[in-house]
Amino acid sequence: MKEIHNAEFGGERPLFASKDLHIENVTIREGESALKECSNIEAVNCRFEGNYPFWHVHGFTVQDCYFAVGGRSALWYSDNLKMIRTVIDAPKMFREMHDIELEDVVINDADEIFWRCRNISIRNLRLHGGTYPFMFSENIRVDGLESDSKYVFQYVKNVEIHNARITTKDAFWEVENVTIYDSELNGEYLGWHSRNLRLVNCHISGEQPLCYAHDLILENCTFDPSCDRAFEYTTLNADIRGSITNIKNPMSGHIVADAIGEVTIDENIKAPADCIITVRDNG
């Protein structure tokens, strides 16, 4: 493998079509497409300031690196990436990619990241700012996520999330086959129009959660008092620990809670309108 240490590159395509290349303590200055059309690349302790450095790259490791704001749209149309202990200040990362592994990564501008990606494995990711992370992506497994980005995980499929703290709005809309374990979900309008969304040992806060959902499952979940008008036009099987403030017009299924503040069933409920709502007998 060829090695480059302690160097700087700028301009357009300085390392174009490189193969079997290790770069360490290298700075990519202003310019475009530094490592386009490459394969088997290792980048360690590098700094990326120019646009689009990793496009159409097949097989690469990015370790202990930094992407400055100018390094926007840095990783597109690539595959088989392993990224470790890296900080990203640039927006619009990870687009049309597959087979991605991230560990201990911080993304400080999570605007439009992970669009149309598949086969993503994540351990300990922090997302800040931006909108629509993970749009239209599938086959995602996450263990350890902290995010305050807006509209996360919309239109995703086949997702498993553990140990997350997500503060957002309109999260998990139009998703399919998503399971979330041991997590805190804060924000309005959670999980609308979802299919096969399952929440296990989760705490939920925010207005009008989990409406228009199909085949929703809640296991051992808790609700903040802010959660009003929950489950409107939803089919579900819900085991709620503690109390829930308000349930409104669920379509069908079964809801059990330790306490229920108010149930609204009015003339606007949709058929089959046969949801069973009960208070748990703890005696």
Tell me the percentage of the chain whose pLDDT exceeds 70: 99
265 within some domain:
yes
Model pLDDT, residue 87: 98
Whether residue 51 is contained in a domain is answered as no
Q: How confident is the model at residue 56 (pLDDT cuts 50, 70, 90)?
A: very high
User: Domains in the chain: how many in total?
Assistant: 1
Q: How confident is the model at residue 217 (pLDDT cuts 50, 70, 90)?
A: very high
Give the model's confidence band at 114: pLDDT under 50 very low, under 70 low, under 90 confident, else very high. very high
Kindly tell me if the per-residue pLDDT of 250 is higher than 80. Answer: yes
Quick check: is 102 in a domain? no
| Residue among 195, 261, 197, 252 at smallest CA distance from 224 | 261
pLDDT at 35 > cutoff 80: yes
214 C-beta neighbours (distance < 10 Å), count: 15
Average pLDDT over residues 63-92: 96
Domain assignment present for residue 208? The answer is yes
In a domain, 205, yes or no: yes
Per the listing, tokens 């669009």 go with 115
pLDDT band at residue 72, thresholds of 50, 70 and 90?
Answer: confident
Residue 89 lies in a domain: no
Question: Do the domain assignments include residue 222?
Answer: yes
| Residue 283: predicted pLDDT | 52
Peptide bond into 225 cis (omega under 30): no
pLDDT at 281: 81
| Domain-embedded: residue 279 | yes
Q: What integer pLDDT is reported at residue 213 of this predicted model?
A: 98
pLDDT, mean of residues 170-185: 97
